Structure 1
Amino acid sequence: MADRITSPFGAKSTAREVVAGHDLSGKVAIVTGAATGIGVETARALALAGAEVIIAARKPELGEEIANQINEEVGMKRVSFGMLDLSSLEAVRHFAHRWGDRRLNLLINNAGVMACPLSRTVDGLEMQIGTNHFGHFLLSVLLAPNLVDGAAHSGHRSRLVSLSSIGHRRSPVNFEDPNYNTRPYDKWEAYGQAKTANSLFALGFDKRFRDKGVNANAVMPGGIMTPLQRHLPIEEQRALGWLDENDQPREGFKTTEQGAATSVWAAVGDELEGVGGFYLEDCAQAVPWSKEAPWVGVMPHALDPEAAGRLWALSVETTDAGA
């Protein structure tokens, strides 16, 4: 793999280690879903480096609590909460409207749902692709002018980070029936489709905004036990091989601090200045998936430019984004 992008960090690095030495003073970041899991550690690391961080999430009590905790650790008010429900396109529009013309430097699309029973958003979309992709798509398109403005005024390119997953390997995007209106529902296939969409979206966004000062990359954070697993009974987690005989995460799972590292690297890494349209894993450009090393790497369908174009068109139509 010629000229693969790497860094001094790896699978065991933490978000704090990645952000050490970076000064994000004057930068503004939105981290979706930052009230739990790796989103908390992503927000914490960015705030510790000097950024103003907005936790964009659904639960005000929890979001405010996390913001206060990080502010206490930082020693000043750098983190605040903003109400955002990605399962409602109207709520996404409301968030963007409240944001107005404020400059934005970093947008970390971290929020997500995984392997939930068949359910639908208020707009009638299948919940996983509706929340994980379509909600983030609309948010990103609406805030794209703010990212462009942030780049123009800071002298540094703005960045969008789209969280994908190893789950992308389970399915490409089914353009004939992405919302399971006619085909049988499979929660893991639906999750895989949504995570593939998150990767393809990064390609599409970078293509459209790289010449305006904004880059986008997709991130595979790694296996981490977080509230993302809330829909999975412990029996299923055992069957998947995630837990040992004591029902503890098996070796190879990351801590939340380690799980946030690649997101933070995507946001601040010097190696990625001016670089976009890539799939990142363990603080490096992911290698192509292979049978010889099946637990790492990205599959071709998640980096397919044609599929990325089709997804962009479908997303504009679905969200009425007008992009």
Structure 2
Amino acid sequence: MTQDRRTFGAETTADDVLDGIDLSDKLALVTGGASGLGTETARALAARGAGIVIAARNVEKGEEAAQTIRDAVEGASVEVIALDLASLDSIRSAAQAFLATHDRLDLLVNNAGVMACPPLKTADGFEMQFGTNHLGHFLFTNLIASALIAAAPSRIVNLSSRGHHRDTVHFEDLHFAERDYDKWQSYGQSKTANILFTVGLDARLKDKGVRAYAVHPGGIVTNLGRHLNDDDVKFLMAQMQKNSGGNAALKSIPQGAATSCYAATAPELEGQGAVYLEDCHVAAVDDENMAGGVRSYALDPDTAEKLWAVSEDLVGDRFAY
């Protein structure tokens, strides 16, 4: 029996979300598809018939994930391209490689990211979390946007996080040149940027049939936490329990991938865009609740336009649609 979609929530899995949805004529590209949520998102989409492109920094791991999907889904079409979001040269090469063989793309899931790393710089000198999580996806998405437009109606899903509650975007010091580096503030800034990017994308592309969504996948143990030590994990769990009134629970990877798959395919989202989703529903704007919701500063269209202009300057490209 098909699950009542109105009951979707924190325990819903990617397969639940996609039950009854036919993606046999669709192509999906998942960044960070070599592990964790990315692999599960790609597998679940492939199980409904979608062709899959995994974009991964480590191509060998990407190929291993691709084979895992092929083993799980009979007849699955999965290919891998190299993409290092911490290098503008790699991003441009990846976009060129994708467009050389594909002129249409139905679903783009910008899943890759880095969380709470030590103070590091990208190949181009950007602060690592802002540079990877936002600027990398900003450039890659815009470079392949022609394929999304060609396949319209199509969708872009940007993985954000409840971590956006931690901070806004500091335009006066994006890269912590003048202030002390704080890995959680940096992560929060990058996750707010993911939502603002979603707002900017949707404003530019909705008239061309491309809609953009930001999602919070939930608390999940994945390779995203590779920079975390035991104290960091204890801190995060304590924060989750505090904010939830003691009812917080980690999600499984299939549960964590559900909201991404929901944003990418849910028929009930037709006509909507520039929204933030959590637990397979559109979240309310809430500037007080630490346990859920989206902060109003992350959806502000004027701030989104400011971020777009700054991002174009930083990557050295202009994008018009």
Q: Which moved more, 1:234-243 or 1:273-282?
A: 234-243
CA deviation string 1:134-167 (max 9, x = no partner): 000001101111100011xxxxx10000010010
State the shift of 1:196 in Å.
Answer: 0.1
Q: In the alignment, which residue of structure 2 is the partner of 1:280? A: 277
- Normalising by structure 1, report the TM-score: 0.92
> In structure 2, what is the Cα distance between the partners aligned to 1:87 and 1:128?
9
> In structure 2, what is the Cα distance between the partners aligned to 1:77 and 1:167?
34
State the shift of 1:261 in Å.
Answer: 0.3
State the shift of 1:274 in Å.
Answer: 2.5
Q: Secondary structure at the match of 1:118?
A: coil
Matches within 5 A, 1:54-65: 54-65=53-64
Q: Secondary structure at the match of 2:298?
A: helix
> In structure 2, what is the Cα distance between the partners aligned to 1:290 and 1:181?
28
Which one of 220, 227, 234 corresponds to residue 231 of structure 1?
Answer: 227
Q: Secondary structure at the match of 2:30?
A: strand
CA deviation string 1:239-270 (max 9, x = no partner): 333599xxxxx951100100000000000000
State the shift of 1:79 in Å.
Answer: 1.3
Q: Secondary structure at the match of 1:179?
A: coil
Gaps of 5+ in 1: 1-5, 152-156, 245-249
Q: In the alignment, which residue of structure 1 is the partner of 2:140? A: 139
State the shift of 1:69 in Å.
Answer: 1.0
Question: What percent identity do the matched residue pairs reach?
Answer: 50
The answer to whether the aligner puts 1:264 opposite 2:261 as a matched pair is yes
Q: In the alignment, which residue of structure 2 is the partner of 1:154? A: none
Q: In the alignment, which residue of structure 1 is the partner of 2:30? A: 31
Matches within 5 A, 1:1-323: 7-100=6-99, 102-151=103-152, 157-241=153-237, 251-289=248-286, 291=288, 293-323=289-319
> In structure 1, what is the Cα distance between the partners aligned to 2:49 and 2:30?
15
For the Cα contact (< 8 Å) 2:217–2:279, is it kept in 1? yes
For the Cα contact (< 8 Å) 2:95–2:143, is it kept in 1? yes
Q: In the alignment, which residue of structure 2 is the partner of 1:247? A: none
For the Cα contact (< 8 Å) 1:11–1:258, is it kept in 2? yes
> In structure 2, what is the Cα distance between the partners aligned to 1:71 and 1:86?
25
Gaps of 5+ in 2: 241-246
State the shift of 1:275 in Å.
Answer: 1.4
State the shift of 1:9 in Å.
Answer: 1.2
What residue identity is the alignment partner of 2:26?
K
State the shift of 1:290 in Å.
Answer: 5.4
For the Cα contact (< 8 Å) 1:262–1:283, is it kept in 2? yes
After TM superposition, which residue ranges in structure 1, 4 or more long, deviate above 3 angstroms?
none
Q: Which moved more, 1:214-223 or 1:180-189?
A: 180-189
State the shift of 1:227 in Å.
Answer: 1.1
Q: Secondary structure at the match of 1:124?
A: coil
CA deviation string 1:46-67 (max 9, x = no partner): 0001000111011112110110
What residue identity is the alignment partner of 1:285?
V
For the Cα contact (< 8 Å) 1:141–1:321, is it kept in 2? no
For the Cα contact (< 8 Å) 2:287–2:296, is it kept in 1? no
> In structure 2, what is the Cα distance between the partners aligned to 1:7 and 1:215?
22
> In structure 1, what is the Cα distance between the partners aligned to 2:183 and 2:163?
11
What residue identity is the alignment partner of 1:216?
A
Aligned length: 307
> In structure 1, what is the Cα distance between the partners aligned to 2:291 and 2:275?
18
Q: Secondary structure at the match of 2:144?
A: helix
State the shift of 1:35 in Å.
Answer: 1.0
- Normalising by structure 2, report the TM-score: 0.92
Q: Secondary structure at the match of 2:66?
A: helix
> In structure 2, what is the Cα distance between the partners aligned to 1:243 and 1:279?
21
> In structure 2, what is the Cα distance between the partners aligned to 1:86 and 1:102?
22
CA deviation string 1:13-44 (max 9, x = no partner): 00011011111112111000011111111001
State the shift of 1:198 in Å.
Answer: 0.2
State the shift of 1:184 in Å.
Answer: 1.3
> In structure 2, what is the Cα distance between the partners aligned to 1:147 and 1:95?
16
Q: Secondary structure at the match of 1:172?
A: coil
